[in-house]
Structure 1
């Protein structure tokens, strides 16, 4: 398969925060796939096939008087991205028991270890939402549970779910590169109970799960929440992230419509990860 060509936007922001957080959220809605925070701002990546000249027209923060934001753009071959993330991707340990590292890092002596080669896919554990979803998985019982990882990115959460004892895990992402990358990472971690699929919530018809994990963004979550609830078994758990604490009220209100009750909330740098029970 031919590696996709990406366009990189190098943003410089002043003041740095919360400009970078807002910028990442708005760019994510616009179709940008991956982000690397820098000392001056953030670098955002989008596949050239998904790009158009008006891609930034709806990025409201660029028109805000509160921030000074400039940017340059560049076409980037996939191999260049690999060099970039290898240079910047450092291993992490979550709650002292789950290490996330790349293949070229030394092995960790932790209860759980996940080896990820993210390339252009979202999900290394560094971003607040992924980090908090890892915390949720570590804290909850996945033994013999059927699990859905919706918007799986690198497959990191699906991999941890299997390591936590899940009997069956389905990982789904609409992006072809995430689909391929998840397959690679599932094999890299010797996982046997994970099925990876390329697509959206339309794949969930007549499916049922004990646990659903969805780390995407607010708009997609709100759009697909009814589908998730139809798939969730009785006494099931729904973990949602990919949005800010200011979005909690609208997310919770939509969940309450389907008899889902907020049980626990993790928060980190204004990002949140919510646990709902039915």
Structure 2
């Protein structure tokens, strides 16, 4: 039972911690309160599902066209924003924060780039808690369990064989409590992000940046911003042209969101794949001709 007592903190929040911390004034514990919601899904048999490929191509074409047209203008605009944001605690609103686990091991945490939109420091904290919580595991054999109770039962029986194993990755309750401490709003957002890194990976060198900054990562973030600003208009115009406004589609709002999200994910995946196998300038042409 000594092993259990030493590792109990890794399994789940003790009951006395959770209720009192939610929404308490002066801390960031609210990110524990709201669980991550599953994104809306489009049923394969739904009429809108047949449009996904076309909307994906249209989204990429519009993105590339608008990006080329505004490249010079946005370059000077970024310089002006950078000049204004020096010393500011808000940073660039068009940039996304990186997940600390993604920067630590990108290959193992690619979905933290492709499926997560971290626009604020609280988004980073919420994501770390929801997606990178230390799973229940046996400190003797290293077995990972789906629930705390099943892990507790395994440990109580003490019938496993000691094994050498790599400790599972994730934050402990103690680290979560540290993340829930008040964030000084006067501190620059980069420093706020680095304070998260220091909690998640104590003692490890700081990364060179707090934002996804490689060519592939920049393209993903740029499209994510573009789709947030223009996606609804593009999808609505496409559906209008195809006559979908004449149909009394069930749960129309849900399915529109599902189409919007599906196209976003597919374009992001395509951009990642294109940067892995070919020059990014060929990406749009390659998809359009497939």
- Larger relative CO (CA 8 A, sep 6+): 1 or 2? 2
| Structure with more strand by fraction | 1
TM-score of the pair, normalised by structure 2:
0.23
TM-score of the pair, normalised by structure 1:
0.24
Larger radius of gyration: 2
| Structure with more helix by fraction | 2
